[in-house]
Structure 1
């Protein structure tokens, strides 16, 4: 069974933070896909998405070229992303914080009502991790994109129910 999205802190608005290690592969891919899915579902006006990394190595840099190429080949716009670092204040500022793996989850303080793994919403493997494709080849980025797309679809459905939007 997949996760349920917690209630918004501000009625009629919702904010999601996506977190990985360096904010150049997994979380920016999820950010781009989720924003596109929200726009297609008519939720872009009420749901805000941000992404970050727990480390500061890549702050200000664009996403990994392989991640960007994978997104571009699939029809997404990967050009706007610039890496940023997760701030502890985000735990109080966002309605939902989704980490890509258990190490990222531990780095931001562990699971909670508003903090969980991104794939808690994955209909195929709820609660699994999004593997880090950084040290592998293009097939790892393609695998991540598949996970991110189906999980983003499930997040959108959960938000439609929660926010009462068809």
Structure 2
């Protein structure tokens, strides 16, 4: 089984939403026995907490369930996961500092976004509902492309 870890700063907005969207896509395509996703944050601000209520709300709006408690990204995650997906460059740098290296399995989420390749997934925490919807749309289309990449690379 291939394991994917989505990472942002606090692990209550972007990364648990990416985890939930991706796991729903896997379930819909019958791939949840071959791939699985989890998420973590580079900070320790929200360890053990549920996702932000606005994250839960936007997920529910799109019929996506979130089962997650905040956890912190640690060096051992590079051994446990096949792909480490950072939501932005700042967290990518935090991950490299934690690991002490830049493994090939480390990727920016929007490297798969056909409408914003290489850009950061914006942090919606300090914004309103529109920011969470925007992040949902970015993640949804980026994760479609990421899943296509995985299917091709791993013959799924």
TM-score normalised to the size of structure 1? 0.88
More helix by share: 2
1:86-125 alignment runs, 5 A limit = 86-109=73-96, 111-125=102-116
Q: What is the rounded CA distance, in whole Å, between the counterparts of 1:38 and 1:124 in structure 2?
A: 22
Equivalent residue, structure 2, for 1:8 = none
Secondary structure of residue in 1 paired with 2:18: helix
Structure 1 gaps, min length 5: 1-12
Q: State the 4+ residue runs in structure 1 displaced beyond 3 angstroms.
A: none
Answer yes or no: is 1:39 the counterpart of 2:27.
yes
Question: CA separation of 1:112/1:120 partners in 2, compared to 1, >3 Å: closer, same or farther?
Answer: farther
Give the root-mean-square deviation of aligned CA atoms. 1.2
Greater relative contact order structure (CA < 8 Å, 6+ sep): 1
Structure 2 gaps, min length 5: none
Decide which of 61, 64, 71 is 1:84's aligned counterpart. Answer: 71
Equivalent residue, structure 1, for 2:141 = 150
Answer yes or no: is 1:16 the counterpart of 2:7.
no
Deviation sequence 1:97-122 (CA, Å, 0-9, x none):
00001110000007541102111111
Question: More displaced, 89-98 or 106-115?
Answer: 106-115
Answer yes or no: is 1:28 the counterpart of 2:19.
no
Decide which of 148, 152, 156 is 1:161's aligned counterpart. Answer: 152
Equivalent residue, structure 2, for 1:50 = 38
